[in-house]
Amino acid sequence: MRIGILGSRTGWHVEALLKAFGRLGIPADCFSITRFVARIAHRPCVRIEDHILENYDAIIVRSIPMGSLEQIIFRVDVLHRLEDLGVRVVNSARAIERTVDKYYTSALLEDAGIPTPRTVVTERFDDAMAAFREMGDVVVKPLFGSEGRGMVRVSDEDAAYRVFKALELGRSIFYLQEFIPHAHWDIRVFIVGNRVIAAMVRRAEGWKTNVARGASVEPLELSKELMEMSLKAAAVLEVDYVGVDILKAESGGYYVTELNGIPGWKGLQTVTDVNIAEKIAEHVVGLVSGGR
């Protein structure tokens, strides 16, 4: 069995996966997704330097760096191509497309009856201003992005005007999500396969609760309601492993805000005895072997 990991070898998560596969006695190679060479009517079809990717049993996607629209589309196209060639990609290209796009994620959650904040997405400044006036207090997010980068809370009309004008100049999409007061904490649920591996509460001094932005973490034993909500969201997005973000509104009720299809677990690992990298590695081996 041969396993490839798309990511930086110096990254914490890649190192954890390499060690996990090593303990299973399975060799794993690491390489960058930005170095794909794809061929049509040639063999091999996809390679990175000396690595012929269609010879791998599974490829784990740990990083898709920012790039131009053409670069991003090409990288995901190659993941689709590898799947067509019989390589198991984790998470799949389809799952990555669903989770990386916040609008697509939110729409799928709503269609499945999973509570998610009211959201308006548009290309026009005037429509964005109208949506702000309707909701009054919004979080403006980049359509693509993670770790809270680029997110701005807007609750003043003059501030909305300035923020939206800046986005208009950059020809950005306006993604406005109603702000849900949540006492500066939220929940991250980590799922591998169809099982919840671990969960935590993330607490912050402000409304952004990302660990990468300094939030503290503590373990959480999930209720049956939260476990079912998380597993349903993961099933809707068709992921092999995922981080599900859930807010508890101060007024009551839970909302799924995002699903991360290339999730980190460094913070979560500090509050659980479960070796998360090993669970992912075991799941990938089971997929390749035909199990679930």
Task: Show pLDDT as tens, one digit a residue, over the chain (292 residues).
Answer: 999 999 988 899 999 999 999 999 999 999 999 999 999 987 878 999 989 999 999 999 999 988 888 999 999 999 999 999 999 999 999 999 999 988 999 999 999 999 999 999 999 999 999 999 999 999 998 877 655 567 899 999 999 999 999 999 989 899 999 999 888 889 999 999 999 999 999 988 777 777 766 778 999 999 999 999 999 999 999 999 999 999 999 888 999 999 999 999 999 999 999 999 999 999 999 999 874 4
pTM of the model: 0.91
Residue whose C-alpha is closest to residue 257's, from 205, 215, 202: 202
CB burial of residue 43 (10 Å; 0-12, 13-18, 19+)? exposed
d(CA 190, CA 196) in angstroms, rounded, equals 6
3-90 against 119-178: fold identical:
no
Residue where the block lists tokens 């389809």: 94
119-178 topology per CATH = Dna Ligase; domain 1 (3.30.1490)
Which of the four CATH numbers 3.30.470.20, 3.30.750.200, 3.40.50.1100, 3.40.50.720 does domain 99-114+182-286 have? 3.30.470.20
Residue type, 176: L
Domain 3-90, CATH class in plain words: alpha beta
Residue whose C-alpha is closest to residue 14's, from 27, 31, 26: 31
Task: Evaluate whether 78 touches 36 at the Cβ level (below 8 Å).
Answer: yes
Q: Which residues pair with 28 in a beta bridge?
A: 3
Residue whose C-alpha is closest to residue 19's, from 33, 5, 38, 31: 5
Tokens of 211: 């660990």
Q: What are phi and psi of 35, to 5 degrees?
A: -115, 25
Number of C-beta neighbours around residue 42 at 10 A: 9
All structural domains of the chain with their residue ranges: 3-90, 99-114+182-286, 119-178
